[in-house]
């Protein structure tokens, strides 16, 4: 039976169809689980983006091997607990995305807008809200990610990449909490509160288009896959694949912007324009592919997992009156 002949079903579970008391707790749990599993890829991606040329790591696998050998398993989770604050911003992100789409559907003027455009607008608005909350934690977690301490002459010193703009040198045995507090103190000492929003504009330039494109393309790919695949193929699987394809596409398009954001936040460059110039001088055309392999793997795993969890939770949270119209 083809998709055209198939009985109607709800392709997109809308905001007003769900029980929020189920949706929010399950959404936070799903987000934390995915971030916990995939966080090492974020550390590797950030290290590859920040290093000059290939002075320390030659690629994703080389970075994994060296981080594990030099810093142990904990090195792959450096800055995790600070970064995990993102699950809170994730609640605001999802609420904004779904809320904006709901408002666009309810408004008589915007209700006729193509669903793909609604998804794009919702994704952009969600990222704007999410980044405003998460950038300070991003700044701190990225400093921790690139810290890469190793023992030398009885002291813990920063890694060999020259990525220590704060001039941090620590005595052995210091806890992660102490290191985090030192980074917070040094950032505030040098830049005040503005230091915690370093790279905010670059984050918006990188993530707002990324989020908008990802949700827009997710809807496009989902519609196209439903047309070409047999009806018996799981709709949840179709959505997960659509999310992965959307993630791949947006990652390739926005990769240079993400590198500039990371450089601004960690290397303390003074503007996006200057960051682009430095990146061009150091990398040339390779700036478009720097850290791209790690980002693509991260994006594929993250997009597939997030959509799988997100759409599953929406199905679990749907109210009784709509359950018969949902296809797994």
Examine residue 162 and state whether it is found in any structural domain, yes or no. yes
Tokens read off for 21: 């008391």
Examine residue 194 and state whether it is found in any structural domain, yes or no. yes
CA–CA separation, 324 and 231 (whole Å) = 17
Q: Find out whether 206 and 258 touch, Cβ atoms under 8 Å.
A: yes
Work out the pLDDT band at 78, boundaries 50, 70, 90. confident
CA–CA separation, 82 and 194 (whole Å) = 19
Task: Please indicate, yes or no, whether the overall pTM of this predicted structure exceeds 0.75.
Answer: no
pLDDT at position 1 over 50: no
Question: For residue 182, what is the domain's CATH number?
Answer: 1.50.40.10
* Number of domains within the chain: 1
Examine residue 5 and state whether it is found in any structural domain, yes or no. no
189-223: pLDDT as tens digits = 777 777 778 778 777 877 888 888 888 899 899 98
What does residue 192 show for φ and ψ, rounded to 5 degrees?
70, -160
Examine residue 88 and state whether it is found in any structural domain, yes or no. yes
Average pLDDT over the chain, rounded to an integer? 77
Examine residue 268 and state whether it is found in any structural domain, yes or no. yes
117-175: pLDDT as tens digits = 888 898 899 988 888 888 887 777 777 776 654 434 433 344 444 445 555 555 555 66
Examine residue 129 and state whether it is found in any structural domain, yes or no. yes
CA–CA separation, 141 and 78 (whole Å) = 8
Look up the domain containing 234 and give its range.
Answer: 15-325
Examine residue 9 and state whether it is found in any structural domain, yes or no. no
């Amino acid at each position: 039976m083809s998709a055209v002949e198939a009985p109607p079903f709800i392709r997109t579970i809308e905001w007003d169809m769900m029980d929020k008391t189920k949706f929010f707790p399950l959404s936070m749990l799903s987000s934390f689980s995915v971030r916990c599993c995939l966080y090492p890829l974020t550390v590797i991606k950030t290290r590859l983006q920040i290093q000059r040329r290939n002075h320390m790591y030659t690629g994703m696998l080389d970075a994994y091997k060296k981080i594990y050998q030099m810093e142990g398993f904990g090195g792959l989770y450096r800055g995790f607990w600070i970064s995990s604050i993102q699950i809170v911003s994730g609640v605001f992100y999802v609420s904004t995305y779904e809320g904006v789409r709901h408002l666009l559907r309810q408004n008589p003027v915007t209700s006729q807008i193509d669903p793909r455009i609604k998804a794009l607008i919702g994704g952009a608005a969600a990222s704007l809200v999410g980044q405003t909350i998460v950038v300070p934690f991003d700044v701190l977690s990225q400093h921790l990610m690139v810290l890469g301490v190793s023992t030398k002459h009885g002291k813990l010193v920063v890694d060999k990449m020259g990525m220590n703009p704060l001039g941090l040198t620590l005595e052995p045995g210091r806890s992660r909490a102490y290191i985090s507090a030192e980074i917070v103190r040094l950032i505030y000492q040098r830049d005040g509160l503005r230091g915690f929003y370093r790279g905010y504009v670059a984050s918006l330039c990188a993530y707002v288009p990324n989020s908008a494109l990802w949700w827009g393309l997710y809807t496009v790919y989902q519609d196209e896959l439903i047309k070409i695949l047999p009806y018996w193929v799981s709709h949840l699987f179709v959505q997960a694949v659509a999310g992965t394809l959307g993630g791949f596409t947006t990652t390739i398009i926005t990769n240079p912007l993400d590198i500039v954001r990371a450089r601004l936040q960690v290397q303390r460059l003074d503007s996006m324009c200057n960051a682009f110039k430095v990146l061009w001088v150091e990398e040339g055309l390779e700036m478009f592919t720097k850290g791209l392999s790690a980002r693509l793997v991260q994006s594929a795993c993250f997009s597939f997992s997030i959509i799988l969890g997100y759409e599953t939770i929406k199905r679990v949270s749907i109210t009784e009156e709509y359950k018969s119209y949902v296809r797994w």
